[in-house]
Amino acid sequence: MRLSTYEIILPLVGTDEKPIEGYTLLTNGLYGAVDVVPKEDADKLQAGDFAGLPAALRERLMLRGHITRKDEAGELADLKLLSRIFKTIQGRSGVGLVIMPTYDCNFRCPYCFEQHRLKKGQDWLDNTMSDEMIETVFDALKDYRARGYMVNGCSFYGGEPFLAKNLGVVKKIADKCREMDLSMGAITNGYDLETYLDFIEEYKLRSLQVTVDGTAELNDRRRLHKDGLPTYDRILRNVELALQRGVRVNLRVNVGKENLHGMKDLIDDLKARGFIAKEEERAKEEEELRKTDPQAKTKRGQFSYYFKATTDDAHPEKNISEQDTIDEMMKIGFTAEEAVARQSQYNMIWNRMKNLFKKEGYPDFSPAYCGAEMGMLVVDPFGKVFSCWDVVGKDDQATGYIQPGMSRFLWNFNKAKWRTRTVDLIPACQSCPYAFICRGGCASRSSNAYDDYFREFCGEIREIFAFTASRLAGQEWEKRRAAAAAGEASMDACAGELTLSLAGPASRFTEAERAKIMETNSQKEMFDIVKGAAFFPEPE
């Protein structure tokens, strides 16, 4: 018997930002089990004194995977088994569609990761997706759907997808999306957004991501117009107009050393311009509407903002950590929970764990960091296809292409390489406790750090997980204990199992079934085995 290779042991932090005395948090990064145990028992676990644990607790921790009789090879076999199930049944069924109408952009942001495209000249940048190419791309997407893939949405990307001069081509793409009943969204700098207001309403765009990097002086230095024009006031004016048309707007703020201490000024300006108060009013109105119609939406779109530490590989001395943004928010008065809600990297883990506490489904066991390793298709104006939007315009990184007259995408060896960048196949990740939490990290960041897309990139995952898991689990634990103390729940409801665990489902397969799962190329054959073991909950 031993402590799992994938075990993470953390303090439990209460809402008062102090450790909860007498208790410790256990998280298993393979099976997703999150448990609270008395600190004295956690100390015994770390010391290997399993016989000293109370018998019931020892049994529980074994069933949930925290302690095990499997050797490292046995646990790794479970990692590979779960990864293969996910990749074959869940991860390959969807297509994350991104379409680039053009590579051109009216901004020249100094930290932009697409700087390389400027070397190809303005004539190349001026190209937009032709009518023939649009027709061909959507013929291929219809073929995907006919073969059983889920193609449900499309994101417009660039360059700047919403340049005023390109409204016509964007409409043609949107017409094809509407024919296929695809939801639509966009990542845009917002500068020409007033040209697209009727378009947004007509085509019912679901969301826009728009970026500002501080108030006027800071933003105009970082979100730089190619003609040197100011950008901040125009962007926020257009954001307000877009919200009035009912689209959700996520305002992203890229933060580096230059603008870290400008975060408070930006928030104050958003308040002064009415964004915060109007969003509070909208949320209250929607809450009232949904008392009679659960799907009701307000006429005004939802507004939110969040911060993300900038990665400027050309000037690493300007970079900050994700934790720096959290610290700055807490310094200006945000609670830890409020800060996490406004920080993209922390918020992803926070939301994932919060959903797990509902115990409505098993922990996520995706071995892929993002859609780039699964089903993402980024199609550029020339018909080249990329798996990751961080590498668009780099021809040697294209995973395939399509040409007018074709009805399918043609793939090259790069696609296979991207699809095999998963934790079960990255040596450094195979025995990492954060395997299904980090999932190998960002391939693009790995390339920048090691000149190798297919190495691990750990980044700040340990620090981010420790901060979020300790606090969110602490909140949940305090809530359960308070309910038990008030007689609103039994002491059993206060037990330390905060999530379901994959340890049980993984143990249901016979050796023959495990072997078949690892060798079969038939999705149906694998699905029948998995269904027979009641691995997935039955649909309602």
The pTM of this model reads 0.92
Report the pLDDT value the prediction gives residue 119, as an integer from 0 to 100: 84
Kindly report the length of the chain.
540
CB 200 within 8 A of CB 247: yes
Q: What is the torsional sign of CA 251, 252, 255, 258?
A: negative
Report the pLDDT value the prediction gives residue 361, as an integer from 0 to 100: 87
- SS3 state at 253: strand
Q: In terms of Cα–Cα distance, which of 388, 415, 393, 387 is closest to 102?
A: 393
Q: Which residues, in sequence order, are bridge partners of residue 378?
A: 98, 386
Q: How far apart are CA 523 and CA 216, in angstroms?
A: 54
Q: In terms of Cα–Cα distance, which of 131, 132, 125, 176 is closest to 154?
A: 176
Residues 11, 470, 259: CA angle, nearest 5 degrees:
120
CB 81 within 8 A of CB 509: yes
Q: How far apart are CA 110 and CA 107, in angstroms?
A: 9
Report the pLDDT value the prediction gives residue 117, as an integer from 0 to 100: 85
Which positions ≥6 away from 146 have C-beta within 8 Å? none
CB 231 within 8 A of CB 239: no
Report the pLDDT value the prediction gives residue 539, as an integer from 0 to 100: 43
Q: How far apart are CA 304 and CA 275, in angstroms?
A: 9
- SS3 state at 33: coil
Which positions ≥6 away from 306 have C-beta within 8 Å? 250, 251, 252, 253, 342, 343, 344, 347
Which positions ≥6 away from 485 have C-beta within 8 Å? none
Q: Which residues, in sequence order, are bridge partners of residue 19?
A: 13
Q: How far apart are CA 26 and CA 95, in angstroms?
A: 35
Q: What is the torsional sign of CA 253, 256, 262, 264?
A: positive
Q: How far apart are CA 339 and CA 284, in angstroms?
A: 22
Which positions ≥6 away from 94 have C-beta within 8 Å? 149, 150, 151, 152, 374, 375
Name all domains of the chain by residue range, CATH numbers in brackets: 2-89+462-532 (no CATH), 92-320 (3.20.20.70)
Q: In terms of Cα–Cα distance, which of 363, 368, 367, 393 is closest to 378?
A: 393
Report the pLDDT value the prediction gives residue 453, as an integer from 0 to 100: 87
Tens digit of pLDDT at every position of the chain (540 positions): 999 999 999 999 999 999 999 999 999 999 999 999 999 999 999 999 999 999 999 999 999 999 999 999 999 999 999 999 999 888 767 889 999 999 999 999 988 888 888 888 888 899 999 999 999 999 999 999 998 888 999 999 999 999 999 999 999 999 999 999 999 999 999 999 999 999 999 999 999 999 999 999 999 999 999 999 999 999 999 999 999 999 999 999 999 999 999 999 999 999 999 999 999 999 999 999 999 999 999 999 999 999 999 877 777 788 899 999 999 999 999 999 999 999 999 999 999 999 999 988 899 999 999 999 988 999 999 999 999 999 999 999 999 999 998 889 999 999 988 989 999 999 999 999 999 999 999 998 898 889 988 899 999 999 999 999 999 999 999 998 888 888 776 555 556 899 999 999 999 999 999 999 999 988 889 999 999 988 876 543
**208: DSSP letter:** E
Report the pLDDT value the prediction gives residue 538, as an integer from 0 to 100: 53
Calculate the CA dihedral of residues 466, 470, 476, 478 and round it to 10 degrees.
Answer: -170
Which positions ≥6 away from 338 have C-beta within 8 Å? 329
73 C-beta neighbours (distance < 10 Å), count: 8
Q: How far apart are CA 190 and CA 23, in angstroms?
A: 48
